[in-house]
Amino acid sequence: MKIWAQSGIVVLILAFIDVIIRGAYLHRPFLEWIASLAIIICYMIFFFIKSILTGVYETDINNKEQLKEKLKEKMSDTFILCFVAIGATTYKYNLPEDFVGWIAVIARFIILFAFLFGIQYLITVIAWKRSNKI
């Protein structure tokens, strides 16, 4: 199995070099180096999911109290990220001028926060259950 892991790293490095040379240095069209970028993204997603399912992600959580503290930390980080993202997009596309516009901004914030925190919650709980074999 070690040979497959090593060959995967070689493919990842070649794809990364291809993106750097063709994308950043030579400024080639996007369609020429999108396959290499897709390889890198798929590789990252695969190992992220693998680390969650094997229990090596979030290994510092040992009991329910630590899990609750980690989730509170992730909630505050997600709140700040969503607030900055919604604030920046609202400022970029002009401030709303009526009540309905402000309600739409608040609704976008709530939807974005719920989506991002929901993903982080699921990942953290799954990783905790896998690492503690519950």
At residue 127's C-alpha, the angle toward residues 126 and 132, to 5°, is: 100
Whether pTM exceeds 0.75: no
Q: What's the rounded Cα separation, in Å, for the pair 94 and 103?
A: 15
- Residue 100: predicted pLDDT: 94
- Residue 57: predicted pLDDT: 79
Q: Encoding tokens for residue 92?
A: 């970029």
- Residue 99: predicted pLDDT: 95
- Residue 2: predicted pLDDT: 67
Cα 35 from chain centre: 20
- Residue 53: predicted pLDDT: 81
- Residue 116: predicted pLDDT: 96
Query: What is the number of helices (H) and of strands (E) in the chain?
Result: 4, 0
Query: For the chain, what is the largest distance between any 2 Cα atoms, rounded to a whole number of angstroms?
Result: 62
- Residue 1: predicted pLDDT: 56
Residue 116 identity (one-letter amino acid):
L
Q: What's the rounded Cα separation, in Å, for the pair 10 and 91?
A: 44
Tell me the pLDDT of the chain (134 aa) as tens digits.
566 677 788 888 999 999 899 888 888 888 888 888 899 999 889 888 888 888 787 788 888 999 999 999 999 999 999 999 999 999 898 889 999 999 999 999 999 999 999 999 999 998 888 887 65
